Amino acid sequence: MNHYETVFILNPVLSETQIKETVKKYEDFLVSRGAKMVAKEDWGLKKLAYPIQNKKSGFYHLFEYQVDGEVINPLEVEFRRDERFMRYLTVSLDKHAISWAERRRAKLKQKA
């Protein structure tokens, strides 16, 4: 199983309930295909560097998970089909990125 991180931006016109439903839907999508969720983060509403679909802000979310590589393509197909998503990026993490992510999460826990 490979270690992945997906960051996605949801449309800013969505309600809080719609955002939670969307995040839950895609978390369930991954888990149903054998993914082990390592971390989930809600970064909230952020201003975009440039307009996307005539929007100047979006709701950012991050998933960090372990799953077989063949699950990534169906996940990204689902992202493309869903109009609630403005952008997404999935990257495979190497051992250095994994340790950096663990340190970042530890810092966030200390602040909380």
Regarding beta strands 2-10 and 55-67, do their DSSP bridges make them parallel or antiparallel, or are they unpaired?
antiparallel
How confident is the model at residue 1, as a pLDDT? 87
**What pLDDT score was predicted for residue 111?**
79
Strands, E assignment, 1-112: 2-10, 36-52, 55-67, 85-92
Please tell me whether residue 33 adopts helix, strand or coil conformation.
Answer: coil
Residue position matching structure tokens 């979006």: 58
The domains found in the chain, sorted by start residue, are: 2-111 (3.30.70.60)
pLDDT in tens, the chain (112 residues): 899 999 999 999 999 999 999 999 999 999 999 999 999 999 999 999 999 999 999 999 999 999 999 999 999 999 999 999 999 999 999 999 999 999 999 988 887 6
Q: What is the pTM of this model?
A: 0.91
> Rounded distance, CA 1 to CA 72, Å?
12
